[in-house]
Structure 1
Amino acid sequence: GAYLAQDCWAVQRRYRQIDDGDGYINYEQLERLVCAEEHSLLFLWDLFSQQNELIDMKELLSVVCLFSSARLEEKGKFLLSVFDASRCSVNTGEEVAGLCTMLLVILWRCTGGPAVRVRDISKALRRDLPEIVPAYKEAADLVGASKAFTSERVIHQSDMELLLAPIRSAYERLSVARAPPGDSPP
């Protein structure tokens, strides 16, 4: 939509002001966090709320980011920060797998495509990350692949170009990679 990168960060900042520590929001909080028309909010609520009561905040931030007009690199950096449990701007392979799984689940919910399994994403990333991120390969060689994946914080936002290279051409064919229509609401 018409959200830009800074709008994604603004949603996250507004959430931090109302965060009660459980990682979920109700519909009234959704209205305060996401500046969108009522029908768009209802669509988000219907698609992503759990038992029509709460939305997982990581999922909402991922939805806002995925469907924003931010550049791919901006989306990647924002999402790495959302999934960084340590808040130190460095991620584990497991966190990156969680991010990838979340995005694919969102697309699955919106399109009805094939279901996504965390196990499959994790397996693929365990195989591919050493070839994509040199620091991750070093960590895997040093402490072992399993420990590197779950606990070594070696994936930096500065690795964004490396992380995005394998998916860039596929992403650019998606409608979420294009600018919003001129009549899109802010």
Structure 2
Amino acid sequence: MDASVWIVNIVVLASVLGTDLGRRKVGMARLLRPAIVAAVIVPMYVKHPATSGSGLVLELAAAALGLLLGLGAAALLKVRRNPSDGVIYTHAGVGYAALWTAVIGARLLFVYGSNHWFTEQLGRWMTQHQISVDALTDALVVMAIAMLLGRTGTLAAKRRTAVTGHVATGASAQRTQVVR
């Protein structure tokens, strides 16, 4: 596997932790930034996506796992509406950072292990299942991007809920609303 997996994972981790840790305003730029990151990363690093067979199954499974992990991360991201000015913001703490770091660390450990610890076993498995190195690399990149987009899609939905929940509550607008 090449450096693309390392680069994508480090960019995703830095992007997520840099924009989510602590108390952060949820604006359109924050919601669009991950889509822009995906639009740049996918064409740059997913060069030969599998279109059939086990490689395609692996890539789709990695995308599904990434999406589920993104939803899990989003569950740790609290969304609140400030009653005084109506600003929507998030709060992410240690658990959120730990999940992202553990997932990305595990992916990077797998990449390292595939090059240094279990190269022969992985090569045999890939040959038996007719999975190319490109398909495996693409699967890891797609998993990272799917996790990022899963988190962002959920954040957008929570933001919408916080906005519409405030309008619907009327008199209770004086309290800070939390969307879990």
Same fold (TM > 0.5) = no
Please identify which structure carries the higher helix content. Answer: 2
Q: Which has the higher contact order (CA 8 A, sep 6+)?
A: 2
Q: With structure 1 as the length reference, what TM-score do the two structures score?
A: 0.27
